[in-house]
Amino acid sequence: MHRIDIAVIGAGLSGLTCARLLSDAGAKVAVFEAASRIGGRIHALRDERGQALADLGPTWVWPPHQPVVAQWLERLGIATFAQANDGDAVIEGYHPAPIRAPLPGQDGMARIKGGPAALVQAMAADLPDGTLHLNRPITRITLAPDGLILTDATGAQIIAAKVVLSTPLRVAAAQIAIPDAPAAVLDAMRATPTWMAGQAKAVILYDRPFWRNMGLSGRIASRIGPLTEMHDHSAANGQPALFGFVGWPPEARDPAALDTAIRAQLTRCFGPSAPQPRSITVQDWSRNPLICTAADHAGAHPDLPPAILRQTHLQGRLHIAIAEVSTRSPGLIEGALDAGETAAATLLASATTDWGL
């Protein structure tokens, strides 16, 4: 049976942060990811050359108010730029026809050059060859005398001195058998919503940012939808774009009907003379079984999670590191980085006595 120091389950931002810090400290780490790519909820729309055009998952950071984000951006040499917000917004559903009105922006809101996917790629770049194992779902974790045994979907087994669970907790509770875990831990996992897991995000590419010449910010606030809010999402490299959050519930998101309704909303809000989009891409996270469960369709923001999810389990060998368990911005990019850092620090503090098989 193959043996390693630490297994990280999940190659989202939390798992990659933890793996990066542990690997830098000399631990033998393996990261097991069920999907065919890294990043989890962080995902980019790319062109044929692989250039990131837009964010299909989270977009914003607030470096003045998020010290962990600020530290990692500096460490990885990644720049940010301000969210474009100059001009009026379009408000619809509150009056007989859409109206223009200013809307305040958020203090410190920024976007990452290359999107959050650049953060994910940079985090993974220095991991040793062979660390990442994609398309490798773990289906069972069991306690052994000298570690934890991980079983993957093919039945292959790995034994690790420690394991870091870095996947959405409801998904983990449903898809990974952990027979030795206390019932209270599994109940807490099932009760923890995954932030934005049930959301769908629409990215609309244009040849030019026409709304700016109209004195508009690109923002829309709508009671009608299907996009309840929209923002300028033009890339730092100049690709003009808008993005919006879909207000329709998951069961109503027929792709063809949604595309038609988005185009109609754009015409209502920007006028019939506005250019037609080059493309509309909808990332419906509710359809991704590695991200979303039926319980996440309601879209609740995670509260401060119970302390049991920040404790170690299975004789101190199982750690949980996912954005939702962080006490710092649960569910957000800041929370993901903090959760990965916290798990790595706990593991490194025990390294001298507990590692080695």
Q: Which residue ranges in the chain fall short of pLDDT 70?
A: 352-357
Task: Assign 350 to helix, strand or coil.
Answer: coil
Within the chain, all domains assigned CATH 3.50.50.60 are found at 1-45+115-194+302-357
pLDDT in tens, 13-58: 999 999 999 999 999 999 999 999 999 999 999 999 999 999 999 9
The whole-number pLDDT of residue 37 equals: 98
* Three-state SS annotation for 23-48: HHCCCCEEEECCCCCCECCCCEEECC
- Is residue 221 a contact partner of residue 229, using CB atoms and an 8 Å limit? yes
pLDDT tens for each residue of 146-179: 999 999 999 999 999 999 999 999 999 999 999 9
Helix (H) or strand (E) holding 175: helix 169-175
CA distance 305 to 95: 40
Instruction: Please report the pLDDT score of residue 356 as a whole number.
Output: 46
Phi-psi region of 176 (alpha: psi -120 to 50; beta: other; left: phi over 0): beta
**Architecture of the domain delimited by 1-45+115-194+302-357:** 3-Layer(bba) Sandwich (3.50)
Q: Write down the pLDDT at residue 352.
A: 55
pLDDT at residue 350, as a whole number: 84
pTM of the model: 0.95
Give the span between the Cα atoms of 229 and 87, in whole angstroms: 16
C-alpha closest to that of 124 among 334, 355, 328, 340:
340
The H-assigned helical ranges of 199-289 are 210-213, 255-270
pLDDT at 305: 82
pLDDT score for 63: 97
Alpha-carbon distances of 57 from 189, 197, 201, 202, 322, rounded to whole Å: 22, 10, 7, 10, 16
Write out the H or E segment, with its range, that includes residue 149. strand 147-152
Residue intervals in the chain for CATH 3.90.660.10: 79-112+198-290
What integer pLDDT is reported at residue 299 of this predicted model?
A: 76
Res 300: pLDDT: 73
The span from the CA of 189 to the CA of 174, in Å, is 10
Structural contact between residues 292 and 286, judged by C-beta atoms closer than 8 angstroms? yes
DSSP state of 275: P
Q: Which CATH number fits domain 79-112+198-290: 3.40.50.970, 3.30.420.10, 3.40.50.10140, 3.90.660.10?
A: 3.90.660.10
